[in-house]
């Protein structure tokens, strides 16, 4: 058994010896993206397992070991990790917990401390917690993110985004149920095979893979009239995680809608750009700003290639990060960056401008920044865009799924009524799927 090593503050470290013996458990948020990230970590010599568990036991564990005033995403993430350890599936003395840490003013920066406190309360203080961050908040001798790994992670993020963005435009119209999900698995399989062979991780091969991915989804036979498109925005975990939003995308599909979920790329660029904004507003070293500018420019170059591939393949493509910055002018300043910050409002604006005025804004309990830039901005958006149809849905331990779904059904009824009125007055229906 690996020896437990602590730093001078008393924090349990994840050591090189643990890297060889321990399995790192990571909570699920984006199945496609996290699947590729897990494989990349395995290539770095780690044993990794992504948790896809669900059920009441996760919420129960979160409520038992986390303070009731803690935000809902923290309760779910910590509850899922502790529930996994207590399930009996793993040797608790041979697992570590992997969790991201943004370093911003959001409570998410404190998840890691809440998790350690919860582990101690559960009698599991010997389980190491590993922080994944770009801010130098915590370091572990057995877990280091190299520049080459970060570069690969950018490609995994891009591949995940283009797979999800294209598949979401096909799944509601597929002739053969399940073919879209099968194509996702096929794309992930050959991408991961390329990763294992050291291929698919330079700009030239990435653009070629983008074309291959769009061609794979374009080849899926589709049918039917255009469905009501519904955008999904909100706090990043609840926005993406099926556990957090009660399988929102699946529910929208079952109600005959087409889910439109903004990708992860803009959020990553947003977090990099915030480091530039910090220097501009509060001061700091010019070298820090320059490094962030270089990193941001590279990710934006990849994003533009992804957008071009989607347009070339006949899919609706999102705008660039600069497009979002342009849209937010006059609404929020760039210093408004806690949590999702101004990006959340910008995503709603992009959806409205791109023909998806029907929006579900996922609002988790305790996420104060999200309530300000989400629910707090809805009235302003409705004033400027009267045809927008935005509903804020609360997600917390006491919120019932049926109440959430009933509110979404009402939004969908309004969306269909507005679409019929538009068709009557203009003689035009909502844009058909470009496939």
The tokens of 365 are what?
A: 């309990």
Using the predicted structure, report yes or no on whether residue 107 has a pLDDT greater than 70: no
With a cut of 70, say whether residue 280 has pLDDT above it: yes
Which domain-ending residue is among 94, 114, 145?
Answer: 145
CATH number for the domain that contains residue 123:
3.40.50
One domain for residues 25 and 120: yes
The answer to whether residues 234 and 135 belong to one domain is no
431: left (phi over 0), alpha (psi -120 to 50) or beta: beta
Quickly count: other Cβ atoms within 10 Å of residue 407's Cβ.
15
User: Looking at per-residue confidence, does 2 or 350 come out higher?
Assistant: 350
Q: Are residues 105 and 244 in the same domain?
A: no
Residue 239 in any domain: the answer is yes
CA-to-CA distance for 237 and 340, rounded, in angstroms? 11
Query: Which of these three, 145, 171, 188, is where a domain ends?
Result: 145
Query: What is the model's pLDDT at position 80?
Result: 95
2 within domain boundaries: no
Assess contact for 216 and 183: CB atoms under 8 A.
yes
Same domain, 249 and 345: yes
Q: Please write the tens of the pLDDT for every residue from 376-392.
A: 999 999 999 999 999 99
Residues in the chain: 435
Has residue 283 been placed in a domain?
no
Q: Which residue's entry shows tokens 């901005």?
A: 377
Half-sphere exposure of 323 (CA within 13 A, CB side): 16
Give the model's pLDDT for residue 102: 67
Number of neighbouring beta carbons within 10 Å of residue 87: 12
- Which of 73, 100, 68, 69 minimizes the C-alpha distance to 370? 73
- Domain-located, residue 47: yes
Average pLDDT over residues 237-247: 93
Cα distance between residue 71 and residue 108, in whole Å: 9
236 and 117 housed in the same domain: no
Three-class secondary structure of residue 176 per DSSP: coil
- Confidence band, pLDDT 50/70/90 cuts, at residue 422: low
Q: Which helix (H) or strand (E) holds 259?
A: strand 257-260
Res 244 pLDDT > 50: yes
Q: Is residue 330 part of a domain?
A: yes
184 vs 106: which has the higher pLDDT: 184
Average pLDDT for 306-315: 96
Q: Is there a domain that residue 295 lies in?
A: no
> pTM score, two decimals?
0.90
**Domain, as residue range, for 325:** 228-263+318-435
Question: Are 139 and 243 part of one and the same domain?
Answer: no
Q: Is 9 a member of any domain?
A: no
Answer yes or no: do 250 and 119 share one domain. Answer: no
Q: Are residues 347 and 235 in the same domain?
A: yes
Q: What percent of the chain has pLDDT over 90?
A: 62
Query: 200's torsion region: left (phi>0), alpha (psi -120 to 50) or beta?
Result: left
Total Cβ atoms within 10 A of residue 288: 13
- Those residues whose C-beta lies under 8 Å from the C-beta of residue 74, and which sit 6 or more positions away, are 62, 66, 107, 108, 110, 111, 114, 366
Side-chain half-sphere CA neighbours of 26 within 13 A? 26
For residues 133 and 130, what is the distance between their CA atoms, to the nearest angstrom? 10
Domain count, the chain: 2
The reply to whether 22 and 141 lie within a common domain is yes
Residue 290 lies in a domain: no
* Same-domain pairing of 139 and 247: no
Q: Residue 203 in contact with residue 302, Cβ under 8 Å?
A: yes
Token pair belonging to 424: 């009557």
Six-digit token string for 386: 């009267």
Same domain assignment for residues 251 and 374 = yes
Same domain assignment for residues 241 and 140 = no
The band of 431, judged by pLDDT with boundaries at 50, 70 and 90, is: very low
Q: End of a domain among 120, 145, 170?
A: 145
């Amino acid at each position: 058994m690996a020896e437990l090593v602590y730093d001078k503050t008393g924090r349990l470290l994840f050591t090189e010896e643990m890297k060889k013996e321990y399995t790192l458990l990571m909570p699920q948020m984006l199945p496609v993206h996290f699947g590729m990230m897990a494989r990349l970590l395995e290539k770095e010599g780690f044993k990794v397992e992504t948790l896809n568990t669900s059920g009441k036991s996760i919420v129960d564990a979160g409520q038992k070991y986390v303070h009731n005033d803690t935000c809902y995403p923290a309760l779910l993430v910590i509850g899922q990790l502790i529930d996994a350890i207590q399930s009996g599936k793993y040797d608790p003395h041979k697992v570590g917990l992997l969790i991201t840490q943004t370093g911003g003013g959001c409570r998410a920066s404190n998840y890691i401390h809440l998790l350690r406190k919860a582990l101690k309360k559960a009698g599991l203080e010997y389980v190491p917690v590993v922080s994944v961050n770009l801010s130098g908040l915590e370091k572990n001798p057995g877990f280091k993110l190299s520049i080459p790994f970060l570069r690969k992670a950018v490609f995994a993020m891009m591949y995940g985004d283009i797979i999800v963005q294209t598949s979401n435009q096909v799944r509601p119209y597929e002739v053969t149920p399940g073919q879209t999900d099968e194509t996702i698995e096929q794309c992930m399989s050959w991408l991961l095979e390329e990763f294992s062979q050291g291929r698919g991780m330079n700009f030239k091969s990435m653009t070629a893979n983008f074309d291959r991915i769009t061609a794979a989804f374009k080849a899926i036979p589709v049918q039917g009239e255009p469905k009501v498109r519904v955008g999904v925005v909100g706090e990043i975990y609840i926005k993406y995680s099926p556990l957090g939003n009660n399988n929102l995308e699946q529910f929208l599909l079952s109600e005959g809608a087409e889910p439109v979920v903004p990708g992860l790329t803009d959020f990553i660029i947003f977090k990099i750009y915030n480091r530039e904004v910090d220097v501009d507003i509060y001061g700091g070293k010019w070298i820090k700003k320059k490094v962030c500018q270089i990193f941001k420019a590279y990710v934006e170059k990849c994003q533009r290639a992804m957008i071009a591939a989607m347009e070339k393949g006949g899919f609706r493509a999102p705008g660039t990060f600069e497009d979002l910055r342009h849209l937010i002018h006059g609404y929020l300043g760039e210093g408004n960056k806690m949590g999702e910050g101004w990006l959340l409002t910008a995503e709603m604006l992009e959806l409205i401008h791109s023909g998806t005025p029907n929006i579900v804004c996922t609002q988790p309990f305790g996420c104060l920044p999200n309530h300000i830039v989400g629910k707090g901005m809805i009235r302003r958006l409705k004033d400027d865009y009267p045809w927008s149809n935005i509903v804020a849905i609360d997600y917390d331990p006491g919120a019932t799924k049926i109440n959430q779904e009933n509110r979404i059904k009402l939004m969908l009824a309004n969306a269909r009524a507005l679409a019929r009125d538009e068709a009557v007055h203009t003689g035009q229906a909502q844009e058909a799927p470009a496939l």
